[in-house]
A and B are shown apart, each in its own frame.
Chain A
Amino acid sequence: MNLINFLQTNFSELLSYTFQHLFLAVVSTLIGCAIGIPTGILLTRRPHLSKPILGIANVVQTIPSPALLGVLVPLPFLGGIGPRSAIVALSLYSLLPLIRSTYAGINGIDRAVIEAGRGMGMNDRQLLTQVQLPLAAGVIFAGIRVAMVLSIGIATVAALTGAGGLGMYIFRGISMLDNTLILAGAIPSAILALLADGVLGLIQKKLTHISK
C-alpha cells in the first residue's frame, strides 16, 4: 500500500503534524473553556442575557471556517499567518458548545436542591462551587468533549493559514491531486478525533456517576 509506505517514510513529519494538530485543538478548547464556562455561569444568573449571547455564539458557529480564518488573518494582534489566527478561530467555534452545556447543566439541576441550599444559608459562591458546578459537571464535560472533537475536525483547515497540523497533508494532496497524501492527513485526523472522543467519554461517564 502506498499510504502505509508513505507514513512509514515520513513518520517523524507525521508525528510533528499530529502534535501540532493536537496542540491547536487542546489550546483552543482550553481557551474556549476559560471564556465559555464563566459565560455560561453568568447566563444562569442573568437569564435575560442568554438569548443575545447564545445567539451570537450560534452565528459564530455558522461562519464557514475558511472564511473566519480569512477574516482573522489581516487583523492585528489576533490574526496573522501561523497558529495564532487558527487558535482564535477554533476558540470561537468551541464557545457555543461550552456556553450552552454550562448553561443547560446548571439550569437542569433539581430546583429543590438549589432552594434548599439557599434556604440553608449558602451564599452564591458556595452554592456555585459546592452544588451547581459538581452537579452540572457531567453535562459541562459533555460540552468540552463536543468542543474538543469539533476543534480537531476544524483544525485541519488551519493549515490554510500556515498553522500546520494534519491539514498540511490534505491541502498538499488536493493541490497535487494525490489521493495518498490526502488520506495521510485525513485518516490520522479522524483517528485523533475518535480517540479524543473515547477518552473524554470515559471521563465524562465518571463525572456523571459522581454527580448522581
Chain B
Amino acid sequence: MADTVRFDNVACRVQNGELVHDLSFSVNEGETLVLLGRSGSGKTTTLKLVNRLLDATSGQVVVEGRAVSDWDPIELRRRIGYVIQEIGLFPHFTIRRNVSLVPSLLNWQSTRIEERYREVMKLVDLDPSAFADRYPSELSGGQRQRIGVARALAANPPLLLMDEPFGALDPITRSDLQMQFRALQQTLKKTVVFVTHDVSEAFLLGDRIGVMEAGSLMELDSRKKMMNSNHPLIHSFRNSVEGFLKQNESD
C-alpha cells in the first residue's frame, strides 16, 4: 500500500523550544490515522507540518511522494482538506460561499461549483438549498462543524487533516457526528490524519492510533493492538471502560 504522508525524522523547533522531534511514521492511502495525546503534546504541530502552516526544521515530510518543501504551499493546501476545532468559517460569507471556497480558489466553473456544493452538503446530511444563503452565525455548533467538514471535502482532496473537529461539541452532537464521519469515511476512503485528546474517539475512528507525548510519537499501532497498550492514557481509559462494564454486569 502506498503511503500518502510520510514523516522522516522530522523535528520542528521554534525560538522557545522544540514542538516536535524524531517524528517518523507514514499514513497509508485510505486509512484513518489518529494522533492521540494531551494538549501541548505536538499533535496540532504535526498536522501543520503536513500542509506547511509550519515548516520542519530538520528531517522531511513527504506528501504523495514529494517532499512538502518542493510543493508550492498554496497548491499543496488546496489539495488537502483541513478541519480545525474552531471551524474558522468566514462570518461574512454565506454557507454556499464558505463551502465552495477551495473550488472557487481553484477557478472551477460556477455550474461545477454549485453541483459540488450540493453533493458535499448531502454528504454531511444538510439540505443544500435551505442553507445556501444563510450565514454561519445563524447555525448551531453541530451544523457549523458539518459545514467545516463539507468545506474540507469540497474540492475532493485525497487527504484530510482534522484537528479535534468535534472537540467543542456537546456529547450527543459529538457522537452523532463521529458516527456520521465513520460512515462517510467507509464510503469515501480518504486518507485522514485525525488529531484528538479523546481516547474513545480515537478507538471509534482510527484504523491506526499513535500516541503523542511531549513532542514525540510514543507508540503507533493498529486499533486492535493499541487496545492492549500499556501507555497510561490508554491504560486508564481501558480501566474505566472495564469498570463500567463490570458495574453494568453486577447491576
Contacts and interface: CB of A to CB of B under 8 A. Distances in A.
B86 A118 contact: no
Interface string A25-68: 00000000000000000000000000000000000000000000
Contact of B53 (A110, A118, A126, A130): A118
B151 A120 contact: yes
Interface string A110-132: 10111111111111001000110
A135 interface: yes
A211 B84 contact: no
B159 interface: no
B89 A119 contact: no
Interface stretch (B14-22, B25-33, B72-80): B72-80
Interface in A103-159: 110, 112-123, 126, 130-131, 134-135
Contacts of A131: 90
A210 B92 CA distance: 7
B88 A113 contact: yes
B89 A116 contact: yes
Contact of A119 (B84, B90, B91): B84
Nearest to A122: B105
Contacts of A117: 88, 90
A119 B87 contact: no
Interface residues of B, number: 21
Contacts of A212: 91-92, 137
A113 B105 contact: no
For chain A, which range describes its interface: under 10, 10 to 19, 20 to 34, or 35 or more residues? 20 to 34
A208 B31 CA distance: 44
A118 B84 contact: no
B191 interface: no
A113 B75 contact: no
B75 A115 contact: no
Contact of B88 (A112, A123, A134): A112
Given A123-B74, A131-B90, A116 B84 contact: yes
B82 interface: yes
Interface in B146-184: 151
B53 A119 contact: yes
Contacts of A116: 82, 84, 87-90
Contact of B105 (A112, A120, A135, A210): A120
A149 B231 CA distance: 65
Contact of B82 (A113, A120, A126): A120
Contacts of B51: 119
Contacts of B86: 110, 112, 115
Nearest to A109: B91
B78 A113 contact: no
A113 B91 contact: yes
Interface in B101-115: 101-102, 105
A47 B88 CA distance: 23
A121 B78 contact: yes
Contacts of A121: 74-78, 102, 105
Given A121-B102, A123-B74, A212-B137, A135 B82 contact: no
Given A112-B84, A112-B86, A212-B137, A120 B101 contact: yes
A120 B105 CA distance: 9
Interface of B: 51, 53, 74-78, 82, 84, 86-92, 101-102, 105, 137, 151
13 contacts: A112-B88, A113-B91, A115-B88, A116-B87, A117-B90, A118-B77, A119-B77, A120-B77, A120-B105, A121-B74, A121-B105, A131-B90, A135-B90
Given A116-B84, A117-B90, 7 more contacts: A116-B82, A119-B84, A120-B77, A120-B151, A121-B74, A135-B92, A211-B92
